[in-house]
A and B are shown apart, each in its own frame.
Chain A
């Protein structure tokens, strides 16, 4: 059984079709990169896995998305627990206007955990996982806004890890960061892979090549090609993929 699977996914925003019959299977503990020009539907596809698209007015989703073999768009799905199992990281670092500690503790608190000792342990472990502990351990009570952009983004990843998800969705997580912070996040993605299944949307072709095991190339709402990253970047089967990864359009 694959960790994530989409079958015959069609998504409409009003009259425009954002995704056309997408079929992909993603194995556990792998990194999958979604690439393609702006507006190709890759972000929309990413957000299907934690039902974040539900928030958009006038969206219509057809088909099935399986997480651990269960169709998450079936009636009666507990969306809150689905999202608890899925950490999400956004384009711009978006820590809450709270202390560093409370940012990471937030997910635990809203899920009804009150054991302060457990919360403290989880917060520390999560911040250590993103290699931020040494930088913030003395200022956990300070505002998260005092951190640099790269630190904020790692804090946001820690925030997502604190609730112990099995899937991490990343929507262009480094596009607002400098090269050094970007390198740190990419390194992190490598390490997190052993424990989590990661799907990452990226505009950066080199990043996709560096961090991912599989790559899916989207164009105008269609899945043009999906396969092992090495093959996609060295020997793509479709001409459109070839043109895109060599920078001829997009």
Chain B
């Protein structure tokens, strides 16, 4: 009697395991499929317009012809500018939170506020950036104002990923360093940060992806509908890929005719994010190796 029951149990256990495996596997591949569909859609529609001229020439004839060079350059400026602002501040804030503040009210409060900051819709950041950087501080519509606004937007991502990276460093490394008479800052700088660095790079990757794709925060702070020349200083306006895409899809001079350029722009945007990801991954591996060597 007992053996029959056990057999039944084994069969039903195996069956439910098979079902679970199938479902989980299906969902996993489903996500891959969605990504592939989106990517191939953009590649198929945009590939035909991509050419050397497309990425190195100015737009022509009311943005229905020509290239998107100024938008690419503008986006690169904005990525660099916002990282220059958000990366040091975010990393230092995370170091303070993880290495210096004791568990308690202050830490909880800062953490909660950081989380809240990341929950604010990006258009609100745009509005805030306009009122503070553009008007109050008098930067005008400029790369500086746009970079600062985007920097604020990604600050929580940088802080959170850096914090996770620091948390992943085993405490005995800190204790060993402090035990040798090192100060907290020496310990952080010479032992903790080098170990955490490859993971901190992850925060940078995520932020770059986010910054290059955001439209709302640059809408009122930097983005130009069309500029006949490249920006020459951080106080100039700039074109940017996501905003350019928006403009030629909704309010261009001839929307139908500029449709291929829109897909081309989308493809370039995706490629930029993809390339930065690969680059950052390589960087991460490189530093991971270097950490072990030094």
Contacts and interface: CB of A to CB of B under 8 A. Distances in A.
A92 B172 contact: yes
Contacts of A98: 294
Given A90-B175, A97-B291, A107 B104 contact: no
Given A97-B294, A99-B293, A90 B176 contact: yes
A143 B293 CA distance: 5
A85 B294 CA distance: 26
B167 interface: no
Interface string A87-110: 110111010111100100011001
B180 A84 contact: yes
A80 B104 contact: no
- A-side interface size class: 20 to 34
B177 A110 contact: yes
A159 B180 contact: yes
Interface string B266-294: 00000000000000000000000001111
B179 A96 contact: no
- B-side interface size class: 20 to 34
B294 A57 contact: no
B181 A80 contact: yes
B181 A163 contact: yes
Nearest to A86: B179
Given A52-B178, A80-B183, A96-B176, A102 B104 contact: no
B292 A143 contact: yes
B88 to A, nearest CB: 23
B133 to A, nearest CB: 39
B102 A57 contact: yes
Nearest to A109: B190
B61 interface: no
Most chain B CB neighbours (cut-off 10 Å) among A58, A96, A102, A160? A96
B181 A57 contact: no
Contacts of A156: 176
Contact of B180 (A90, A102, A110, A145): A110
Given A57-B103, A94-B172, A94-B173, A110 B181 contact: yes
B206 to A, nearest CB: 24
Interface in B125-183: 170-183
A52 B179 contact: yes
Contacts of B177: 96, 106, 110
A87 B179 contact: yes
A9 B177 CA distance: 26
A88 B181 contact: no
Contact of A160 (B103, B104, B179, B194): B179
5 contacts: A57-B103, A83-B178, A90-B176, A160-B179, A160-B180
Interface of A: 50, 52, 55, 57-58, 80-81, 83-84, 86-88, 90-92, 94, 96-99, 102, 106-107, 110-111, 143, 145, 156, 159-160, 163
